[in-house]
Amino acid sequence: MDIADKVPNETDRLEEQLLKNLRTTVERVLPIPHYQESYREIGITQAEDIKSIKDFQRLPLTTKEDLRKNYPFGLFAEPMENIVRLHASSGTTGKPTVVGYTRQDINLWAKIVANELERAGVTKKDVVQIAYGYGLFTGGMGLHYGCEELGAIVVPISGGNTARQLMLMRDFGTTVLACTPSYALYLAESLEESGISRDELKLKIGIFGAEPWTEGMREEIEARLGIKAFDIYGLSEIMGPGVALECPAHRGLHIDEHFYPEILDEEGNPLPNGERGELVITSIEKEGFPVLRYRTKDLTTLHYGPCSCGHFGWTMERVSARVDDMLIIRGVNVFPSQVEEAILLEGFEPHYLLVVYRVGNLDQLEVQVEVNETTFFDEVRELEGRQDKLKKRIEDVLGISVRIRLVEPKSIPRSEGKAIRVIDKRNKEG
Amino acid sequence: MLQLSIFLENAKGRLAEVISLLADFKVNLRALSLADTKDYGVLRIIVDNPEETALKLRERRVVVSLTPVWVLKVPDRTGGLAEVLNQLVQQDVVVEYMYAFVEKENEQALVVLRVQDKAIMEKAMKTLNLPSK
pLDDT digits (tens), chain B, 133 positions: 999 999 999 889 999 999 999 999 999 999 999 998 888 999 999 999 999 999 999 989 899 999 999 999 998 889 989 999 999 999 999 999 999 998 877 778 899 999 999 999 999 999 999 888 7
Domain boundary among A323, A347, A380: A323
CB–CB of B5 and A408 under 8 A?
no
Mean of pLDDT values over A211-227: 93
Neighboring chain A residues of B61 at a CB cutoff of 8 Å: 408-410
- Number of domains chain B is built from: 2
- % of chain A exceeding 70 in pLDDT: 96
CB–CB of A371 and B5 under 8 A?
no
Same structural domain, B86 and B64: no
Q: What CATH number is given to the structural domain containing B15?
A: 3.30.2130.10
Instruction: Tell me which DSSP letter residue A404 carries.
Output: E
The per-residue pLDDT for A6 is 53
In a domain, B133, yes or no: no
Residue A354 or B108, more confident:
A354
Residue pLDDT, tens place only, A246-291: 999 888 999 999 999 999 999 999 999 999 999 999 999 999 999 9
CB–CB of B65 and A405 under 8 A?
no
* Closest chain A residue to B67, measured at CA: A378
- Number of domains chain A is built from: 2
Residue pLDDT, tens place only, A30-89: 999 999 999 999 999 999 999 999 999 999 999 999 999 999 999 999 999 999 999 998
CA nearest to A402, candidates A341, A330, A321: A330
Domain boundary among B44, B68, B92: B68
CB–CB of B39 and A383 under 8 A?
no
Same structural domain, A57 and A112: yes
Same structural domain, B18 and B6: yes
Domain boundary among A294, A323, A352: A323
Q: Phi then psi for A225, rounded to 5 degrees?
A: -100, -10
CB–CB of B63 and A380 under 8 A?
no
Range of the domain at B107: 70-128
Measured between CB atoms, which of B3, B35, B65 is closest to A376?
Answer: B65
Q: What CATH number is given to the structural domain containing B111?
A: 3.30.70.260
In a domain, B18, yes or no: yes
Q: What Å distances lie between residue A279 and A5, A243, A297, CA to CA?
A: 19, 12, 7
Same structural domain, B21 and B46: yes
Same structural domain, A12 and A159: yes
Q: What CATH number is given to the structural domain containing A364?
A: 3.30.300.30
- For A405, counting Cβ atoms within 10 Å of its Cβ (0-12 exposed, 13-18 middle, 19+ buried), the class is middle
The full 3-state SS of A331-354, as one line of letters, equals: CEEECHHHHHHHHHHCCCCCCEEE
CB–CB of B61 and A408 under 8 A?
yes
Domain boundary among B17, B46, B68: B68
CB–CB of A371 and B96 under 8 A?
no
Dihedral in degrees, nearest 10, Cα atoms A338, B64, B57, A342 = 10
Q: What is the largest CA-CA distance in chain B?
A: 46
The per-residue pLDDT for A258 is 97
Give residues with Cβ within 8 angstroms of A231, minimum separation 6: A208, A209, A213, A218, A245, A246, A253, A318
pTM for the structure as a whole? 0.84
Q: What span, in angstroms and rounded, lies between the C-alpha atoms of A349 and A368?
A: 11
Q: What span, in angstroms and rounded, lies between the C-alpha atoms of A75 and A331?
A: 37
Domain boundary among A267, A298, A323: A323
Q: What span, in angstroms and rounded, lies between the C-alpha atoms of A80 and A74?
A: 11
Same structural domain, A94 and A204: yes
Same structural domain, A299 and A335: no
Same structural domain, A58 and A30: yes
Residue pLDDT, tens place only, A162-194: 999 999 999 999 999 999 999 999 999 899 888
Q: What span, in angstroms and rounded, lies between the C-alpha atoms of A317 and B79?
A: 69
The per-residue pLDDT for A92 is 60
A380 touches chain B (CB under 8 A): yes
Q: What Å distances lie between residue A95 and A65, A77, B132, CA to CA?
A: 10, 20, 72
Same structural domain, A127 and A96: yes
Can you tell me the ipTM of this complex?
A: 0.85
Q: What CATH number is given to the structural domain containing A50?
A: 3.40.50.12780
Q: Is the pLDDT of residue A10 over 90?
A: no
In a domain, B79, yes or no: yes
In a domain, B7, yes or no: yes
In a domain, B24, yes or no: yes
Q: Phi then psi for B65, rounded to 5 degrees?
A: -130, 155
Same structural domain, B81 and B115: yes
Same structural domain, A302 and A331: no
Cβ-contact A29, A299 below 8 angstroms? no
| Element of type H or E holding A168 | helix A162-171
Same structural domain, A106 and A55: yes
Same structural domain, A99 and A236: yes
Neighboring chain A residues of B3 at a CB cutoff of 8 Å: 378
Same structural domain, B63 and B100: no
Same structural domain, A346 and A314: no
Q: Which of A378, A383, A391, A405 to mutate to test the interface with B (most CBs of B within 10 A)?
A: A378
Mean of pLDDT values over A400-409: 94
A63 touches chain B (CB under 8 A): no
CB–CB of A378 and B65 under 8 A?
yes
Cβ-contact A301, A276 below 8 angstroms? yes
Cβ-contact A293, A268 below 8 angstroms? no
Same structural domain, A301 and A348: no
Q: Is the pLDDT of residue A8 over 60?
A: no
Domain boundary among B49, B68, B87: B68
For B29-74, give the DSSP string: --EEEEEE-SSEEEEEEE-S-HHHHHHHHHHTT--EEEEE-EEEEE
Dihedral in degrees, nearest 10, Cα atoms B41, B42, B48, B54 = 100
Same structural domain, A417 and A269: no
Residue pLDDT, tens place only, A141-166: 999 999 999 999 999 999 989 999 99
CA nearest to A109, candidates A293, A234, A273, A268: A234
Range of the domain at A331: 326-429
Per the prediction, chain A carries an average pLDDT of 92
A267 touches chain B (CB under 8 A): no
Question: Please, how many CA atoms are within 13 Å of residue B65, restricted to the half-sphere of its CB?
Answer: 17
A189 touches chain B (CB under 8 A): no
Same structural domain, B14 and B57: yes
Residue pLDDT, tens place only, A310-338: 899 999 999 978 888 889 998 898 999 99
